[in-house]
Structure 1
Amino acid sequence: MAEAADEAELGLLECRVCFERYGPGGQRRPRNLPCGHVLCRGCVEALGGPERRRLECPFCRRPCGLCETSDCLPLLQLLELLGPGGRSPSALGRAAGGAAPPRLQLSLGGWGSLLNPTGVAACRRSGRLAVAHDGKKRIHVFGPSGSCLQRFGERGDAGNDIKYPLGVAVTADGHVVVTDGGDRSVKAFDFEGRGTLAVREGFCLPWGLGATPECDVMVTDAEAGALYRLTADFGSGKLKKCQLVRSKLTNPRGVAVCPSSGAVVVIEHLKTEGPSSCSTRMKIFSADMTLIGQMDSFGLNLVFPSKIYTTAVAFDKEGCIVVTDVCSQAVICLGKPEEFPIFNPLVSHGLSYPVGLTYTANNSLVVLDSGDHSVKIYSSA
């Protein structure tokens, strides 16, 4: 009975639009829609628009009027039963045997230190973080304790010039690789900031980067609609191969490689007609670049309670796809490629505009928040 009560509270006492816990009164009071779905009063009124006359159910799209909604008496009775001292959803998740959500452990940077950051990557060997941003020195290297160890990539500085960084990755042998939109190149550095390689030919607009376990780098070209595999000896600065592995993509940006399986996820940014003029699409490829799945914002919206506009993607140690969503200002786990998509919010509070995502060797979640120019590190559950 205790486990059943835990599961009921975890699944029922949270509005699936705003993810706020229901309450007995005010904006958090649960309301029934005629279709049977339940929202909090605040979300019902927000969906009804300024005139508050009609709304569309965000889950099944059935239209209804605000006068057709009613109090959800079973949930109100459950709230009364639990009382004001009812346990929080995170605690209930642990009691029911589920994994606890990650907790904010450390926040780095901030305005004045980072300026409009665009990418973050972790060195699994040393624990260092490389952050790309638009400040004077384009790359900041942070140590595991959060101290800034190195800054490099000042524009115009011969040998390590970075004009406009778009993405960053760290290879398994400890080199920082950056896509530079200013001169449409891919550049590699050691952690001291010394440039070791610059590939300036063949790219239209290199954007996203994903490091493979073999020290190769996957590079998206947003303008060419292509995905490349870059093989190089970064230490000696020798380019071995730049191989086109996928073409006919639509404005590809973020990319991630699964360390265990070699699966690759690419985020495409789409232009659509109508009030919502932009959406994203995720394409999942096997290690041999066979397409094994895809889903766009519209398709995800049919499965999940809110539209997902993805800006970054990563794999956790279990091989699950994890994305940032700027619509809900959240980090969401979408499951393994073979079970994609599921819906498991990992971080739903405290983010402004998440644009970067990576995992450290100890499975800490690292989120780059461009909204407040910071790097937020969450301990693993």
Structure 2
Amino acid sequence: MAAEDEAELSLLECRVCFEPYGPDGQRRPLNLPCGHVLCRGCVGALAGAERQRLECPFCRRLCGPAETSDCLPLLQLLELLRPAGRGLASALGSSGGAAAAATAGLGLRLCLGGWGSLVNPTGVAACPGSGGLAVAHDGKKRIHVFGPSGFCLRRFGERGDASNDIKYPLDVTVTSDGHVVVTDGGDCSVKAFDSEGRGVLAVREGFCLPWGLDATPRSEVILTDSEAGALYRLAADFQRGELKKCQMIRSQLVRPRAVAVCPTSGAVVVIEHLKARGPSKGSTRVTIFSAEMDLIGQVDSFGLNLVFPSRIYATAVAFDREGVSLLQHHFCIAVAL
């Protein structure tokens, strides 16, 4: 194997234990508050037997194990790019154990661009035409766009830049014509950018807190307003920077956040965050609408807990190409519609 291939494969390993990341157990990647990523096993080992405090091995910032969180974009990308990963391993010409373990993650780890380059990633979206990825996060430049090989193509959305300012990104999607659309919780707006990162449209329309969004095959955008409890459809001519229509299509939802549009049927899935009861951290509800916005069905955490052995708290949703809904929890759950 060439030296450059070995370098790429080394990016697939935890930088402390040099074991490959995985979706479950001790290999699951966790974000530290400083933005660096470690596997769950190393977080536990560094915290010691008392499990009170640990020191980041890269920047020395102290934190507690309870302050860590799942690296959701990495886990989502791991699932999305798994088929592509097998092809990448073949292209590398290796049948060794390291390559086999790395097949699902090669593009992912390169997309992350090293440890700590993304700060609190909040959203990720695939570019329909190029196969690249757009990631929203709290770094200096809020949006990073990666090519299919995992290299960063451009960064934009620096706070304070009048031409493409993004104050606090909550989610991102990419339309079929290549425009990047972001929900900005900082000024409660939806902002669109062209392929070069230039701002072309900003829509406010009286939003209370626009949160999740996803693009339809016709380049319309379905988005949630978490505080208003509503679902909107936004139609625009992004090439000209003109808003055509922003219409509320559902109301009386409970803190809706993540949303996904099925590419085959046009069905819409929304994750609602129900209020906490007692000492519980609350629960979530998966609500499914048809393309005409008729209610198809609902299932909440209690219902999912009857099927799955662990407590389910859904945080994100996406569709694969066959129209199967994928919920993000502590692991990926497939739901056929």
| TM category, shorter | 0.5 to 0.7
Aligned to 1:216: 220
Deviation (angstroms), 1:304: 1.5
Q: How does 1:231-380 map to 2 (within 5 A)?
A: 231-325=235-329, 329-334=330-335, 336-337=336-337
Larger Rg: 1
Partner of 2:136: 132
Counterpart CA distance in 2 for 1:103 and 1:163 is 33
Q: Distance in 2 between matches of 1:111 and 1:289?
A: 42
1:207 to 2:208 alignment: no
Aligned partners of 1:192 and 1:128: how far apart in 2? 14
Give % identity: 72
1:282-321 deviation digits (Å, cap 9, x = unpaired) = 0000010000110111111012111111111011111111
Residue 103 of structure 1 aligns to a residue whose secondary structure is coil
Shift of 1:203: 0.4
- Partner amino acid, structure 2, of 1:319: G
Deviations 1:161-180 (A, max 9, x none): 00000010000111000000
- Higher RCO, 1 vs 2 (CA within 8 Å, ≥6 residues apart): 1
- 2:126 aligns to what? 122
Q: Could you say which structure has the higher helix fraction?
A: 2
Say whether the 8 Å CA contact 1:221–1:227 is kept in structure 2.
Answer: yes
Q: Take 1:162 and 1:192, find their aligned partners in 2: how far apart are those partners?
A: 15
Of 144, 161, 165, 2:165 maps to 161
Instruction: Supply the AA of the counterpart residue of 2:332.
Output: V
For 2:324 and 2:133, locate their aligned partners in 1 and report how far apart those are by CA, in whole Å.
21
Which of the pair is proportionally richer in strand?
Answer: 1
In the other structure, the counterpart of 1:362 is none
Partner of 2:106: 105
> 2:327 & 2:273 partners in 1: Cα distance?
14
Deviations 1:229-274 (A, max 9, x none): 0000011100000011000000000000001100000000111312
Q: What is the alpha-carbon distance in structure 1 between the residues aligned to residue 322 and residue 131 of structure 2?
A: 19
- Provide the residue aligned with 2:90 in structure 1: none
Selected match of 1:172 from 173, 176, 182: 176
Which residue in 2 is equivalent to 1:8?
A: none
CA contact (8 A) 2:138 2:169 kept: yes
Per-residue deviation, residues 155-198 of structure 1 (Å, max 9, x unmatched): 01011000000010000111000000000000000121100000
Which residue identity does 2:181 align to in structure 1?
Answer: V
Contact 1:141/1:191 (8 A) holds in 2: no
C-alpha contact (below 8 Å) 2:205/2:246 kept by paired residues: no
What CA distance in whole angstroms lies between the structure 2 residues aligned with 1:315 and 1:298?
23
Whichever residue aligns with residue 321 of structure 1, its letter is: S
| Post-superposition offset of 1:112 | 2.5
Aligned match of 2:196 = 192
Q: In the TM superposition, what are the counterparts of 1:22-41 in structure 2 within 5 Å?
A: none
Counterpart position of 1:150: 154
- Listed one character per residue, the Cα deviations across residues 75-126 of structure 1 (whole Å, up to 9, x for unaligned) are xxxxxxxxxxxxxxxxxxxxxxxxxxx8333312254310000000011111
CA RMSD of aligned residues (A): 1.6
Tell me if structure 2 keeps the 8 A contact 1:150–1:191: no
Residue 206 of structure 1: how far off its partner (Å): 0.2
TM-score between both structures, scaled by the size of structure 1: 0.60
Matches within 5 A, 1:13-28: none
Q: Unpaired runs of 5+ in structure 1? A: 1-18, 21-101, 338-381
Aligned equivalents of 2:324 and 2:297: distance in 1?
14
- Matches of 2:276 and 2:299, distance apart in 1: 15
Output the TM-score relative to the length of structure 2.
Answer: 0.68
2-structure distance, mates of 1:184, 1:323:
26
Distance (Å, rounded) in 2 between the aligned partners of 1:302 and 1:268: 19
